[in-house]
Chains A and B, each alone.
Chain A
Amino acid sequence: MNPRKRALVLAVGLLLLAAVPPLAAIFNQPFYLDLLRRIMIFAIAAASLNLILGYGGMISFGHAAYLGVGGYAVGVLAHYGVYDGALQWGLAIGASALVALVIGAVSLRTSGVYFIMITLAFTQMLYYLGISIEEFGGDDGMPLAAKSRFPGMDLDDANTFYYVVLAILVLVLVLGHRLVESRFGMVIRAAKSNEARTRAIGFSPYSYRLAAFVIAGGVCGLAGALLVNHTAYLTPEFMNWTRSGELMFMVILGGMGSTAGPVLGAFALLLLEDLLSGWTTHWQLYLGPLLVLSVLFFRRGLAGAIFGKNE
């Protein structure tokens, strides 16, 4: 698919997303507003994972950690009566980036299976930390006292919140696209493609990978802040390892190393989940084989199937 056609497809997709709130209002189906908002929040998280997994080749099996840290940043501040959105979301991004810095600094010294296991182990530690804090509801979690507050913007209004999420998604995709095409992006992609060559031409991949890891953590933290506002409930389940797996699935299913991939993956996975769970309580039994088949037959993911080789 040539760039103009691709731009057209992306524009149409964006318009469709923007048209959801009025359509949901016309057909009196507020449920879809809720569903699509949730999907877009996960698309943001998946896009952040795509940066390190898809472009950087870092198989992080603990990306849900940052959803959790971001969620807790908002939930805990709200718990103590701080509702200021800028402060909450700023803390969500900052704390997640900091946690990513620590996890990345340790785990990026390893590779392969060890890297996967260490990222998983760190996330499990955070998960059990969340469970153990009774003040914040332990493993039951706690309701979010109130949604994040911004001057002149009311997240309690479903449409407003929807457009905020959509705007952030578009921003993340645009910035992410610039990033992977920049000098920085070229280095992390090069290190994924051929580490020995990358070192031989004079790059030390570690610091670039760590920076990518921190950026991905921060963005996913923002997704966590959105998610807790969306569910209005904070729980350690944000950090469950199955969450990390879902995020990986979205990236792989959608197409690793493509801008639109994680969005397509989030839509496909969560829509399927919604569809199948409407039919049967054993929906995971059907989802599993579908995912296996899709990975087998769409080697470049949905993005590869739709946009062709280059995207």
Chain B
Amino acid sequence: MNRNILEVHGLIKTFGALLASDGVELEVREGETHAIIGPNGAGKTTLIGQLAGELRPDRGEVRFAGEDVTALPAPARARKGLARSFQITSIYPGFTALENVMLAVQAHAGHSFRFWRKARGESVLRAPAERLLEQVGLGARAGAQAGSLAHGEQRALEIAMALAGNPRLLLLDEPVAGMGAEETQRMIAFLSTLKGGKTIILVEHDMDAVFSLADRISVLVYGRIIASGTPAEIRANAEVRRAYLGEEADA
């Protein structure tokens, strides 16, 4: 068995009276694609916020690559190799697609207190960014303003930005949200090319995407992980069927 790249223990986060994370336990193994599913309001977004470092848990621990990162803010976690995409597309709309990815490359290329050289002309930033755009199928769109790209292209751009700096863990928050059927298939096909090479946490509502990509699945309900296991195990789990999958699993 591969070692765990991410371990979450006893994570508790409250917002007023709302217990958004109620003792979350989660283990993600190196190299696997681990899906987190759960009904609306289960606390997925809160959990992701705590994994990425944007939210501090009230209690509990997040360990990344063997290190306690609970107190580290998001930028520091990103530099350690924990990259993310956002549920609602988050890019730089005024910059070109290439500049978007170049910025992500730049974030992993030492400090940016460099004041004189034109960043746009630096091949050490440009070459990897062009490669990443090719990889996600946006090679031809490098010069386009990111804000003018189609929705599916923007999602792909976000993945390219997350891949910059060769992250050890990719945290994808609903990568196919808002996509049409064709775009969804294309994204699933692309993500499956990453499978195995990258460790991926996939938070997703789209069950096609989840069951065709995930090696393991954790089910989050009311701030708790009620089950973790292979897709087959999750399908067969009575509690999960009751809490979440409902008729879809029976069908």
Chain A residues packing against B (C-beta within 8 Å): 178-179, 181-187, 189-190, 193-194, 196-204, 208, 211
A190-B92, A197-B91 are known contacts. Are A202 and B108 too (CB-CB below 8 A)?
yes
Q: How far is the CA of A65 from the CA of B164 in the complex (A)?
A: 41
Instruction: Give Cα distance in the complex from A203 to B122, angstroms.
Output: 19
Residue of A nearest to B101 (CB): A201
Asked if residues B74 and A200 are in contact (CB atoms below 8 Å), the reply is yes
In the A-B complex, list the 4 residue pairs whose CB atoms are closest, starting with the nearest. Answer: A202-B78, A202-B107, A183-B112, A204-B75
Q: What are 14 A-B contacts defined by CB distance under 8 Å? A: A181-B119, A182-B116, A182-B119, A183-B106, A183-B117, A186-B102, A189-B95, A190-B95, A194-B90, A197-B161, A199-B54, A201-B164, A202-B79, A208-B113
Q: Do the beta carbons of B103 and A186 come within 8 Å of each other? A: yes
Q: Which one of A184, A200, A203 contacts B84 once the chains associate, using CB atoms below 8 Å?
A: A200
A-B contact count (CB 8 A): 93
Q: Do A201 and B115 form a contact, CB below 8 Å, given A181-B120, A194-B91, A194-B92? A: no
Residue of A nearest to B125 (CB): A183
Q: Taking A186-B99, A194-B93, A201-B83 as given, write out 5 further A-B residue pairs in contact, using a Cβ cutoff of 8 Å, ordered by the A residue number.
A: A182-B114, A185-B115, A193-B94, A194-B91, A200-B90
Known: A184-B112, A203-B112, A208-B112. A196 touches B117 (CB 8 A): no
B113 partner residues in chain A, CB cutoff 8 A = 184, 208, 211
Instruction: Give the distance to chain B from A207, nearest Cβ to Cβ, in Å.
Output: 8
Which of chain A's residues have a CB closer than 8 A to the CB of B122? 183
Report the Cα distance A199→B78, complex, angstroms. Answer: 8
CA distance A286 to B191 in the complex (A): 61
* Distance in angstroms between the alpha carbons of A208 and B52 in the assembled complex: 21
Contact indicator per residue, chain B 38-56, by CB within 8 Å of chain A (1) or not (0): 0000000000000010100
- Chain A residue nearest to B113 in the complex (CB): A184
B125 CB, min distance to chain A CBs, angstroms:
8
Inter-chain CA distance A190–B95, complex, in Å, is: 9
Contacting residues, chain A, for B99 (C-beta < 8 A): 186
When distances are taken between beta carbons in the complex, the residues of chain A under 8 Å from B73 are 199, 204
Q: Which of B76, B93, B104, B117 contacts A201 (CB 8 A)?
A: B104
Residues of chain A contacted by B115 (CB below 8 angstroms): 178-179, 182, 184-185
Chain B residue with Cβ nearest A177: B118
Nearest residue, chain A, Cβ from B80: A202
Give Cα A253 to B73, complex, Å. 38
Closest beta carbon of chain A to B180's beta carbon, Å = 24
Secondary structure type dominating chain A contacts = helix
**B198 CB → nearest A CB, Å:** 16
Q: Interface of B with A (CB < 8 Å)?
A: 52, 54, 73-76, 78-79, 83-84, 86, 90-95, 99, 102-104, 106-108, 112-120, 122, 161, 164-165
Most central of B73, B75, B114 by chain A CB within 10 Å: B75
Q: Which residue of A lies closest to B99 (CB)?
A: A186
Q: Tell whether, in the assembled complex, residue B104 and residue A178 are in contact, meaning their CB atoms are under 8 Å apart.
A: no
For A194, what are the chain B residues with a Cβ–Cβ distance below 8 Å?
90-93
In the complex, which residues of chain A have a beta carbon less than 8 angstroms from the beta carbon of B108?
Answer: 202
Taking a contact as CB atoms under 8 Å apart, the answer to whether B52 and A200 are in contact is: yes
* With known contacts A181-B120, A186-B119, A190-B92, A201–B112 Cβ distance under 8 A: no
Most-contacted residue by chain B among A182, A183, A211 (CB, 10 A): A183
Asked if A178 contacts B116 (CB within 8 A), the reply is: yes
Task: Please tell me if the beta carbons of B86 and A200 are within 8 angstroms of each other in the complex.
Answer: yes
Which residues on the A side are within 8 Å of B95 (C-beta)?
Answer: 189-190, 193
B145 to chain A, nearest CB (A): 10
Query: Contacts A201-B107, A202-B79 hold; do A182 and B118 have CB atoms under 8 A apart?
Result: yes
| Contact between chains at A181 and B90 (CB < 8 Å) | no
**Which residues on B sit within 8 Å (CB–CB) of A200?**
52, 74-75, 78, 83-84, 86, 90
Q: In the bound complex, do residue B107 and residue A203 qualify as a contact, i.e. CB atoms below 8 Å apart?
A: yes
| Closest chain A residue to B158, Cβ basis | A197
Across the interface, name the chain A residue whose C-beta is closest to B118.
A181
CB of A193 within 8 A of CB of B119, answer no
Shortest CB distance B221–A (Å): 27
CA distance A184 to B118 in the complex (A): 10
**A6 CA to B74 CA, complexed, in Å:** 41
A178 to B120, alpha carbons, bound, how many Å? 11
Which of A182, A198, A202 has the largest count of B CB atoms less than 10 A from its CB? A202
Residue numbers in B under 8 Å from A184 (CB-CB)? 112-115
A216 CB → nearest B CB, Å: 13
Residue of A nearest to B102 (CB): A186
- A201-B163 Cα distance, complex, nearest whole Å: 10
When the two chains form their complex, are residues B86 and A196 in contact, meaning their CB atoms are under 8 A apart?
Answer: yes
Q: Give min CB distance, B203 to chain A, whole Å.
A: 15
User: Considering only CB atoms, which chain A residue lies closest to B105 in the complex?
Assistant: A201
Select from chain B the residue with minimum beta-carbon distance to A187.
B112
Asked whether B78 lies within 8 Å of A190 as measured between CB atoms, the reply is no
In the complex formed, the residue of B with least CB distance to A196 is B90
Query: With A178-B116, A202-B108 in contact, is A197–B74 under 8 Å at CB?
Result: no
Q: How far is the CA of A138 from the CA of B164 in the complex (A)?
A: 57
Inter-chain contact B74/A186, CB cutoff 8 Å: no
Distance from A178 Cβ to chain B, minimum over Cβ atoms (Å): 6
Complex alpha-carbon distance, A198 and B75, angstroms: 8
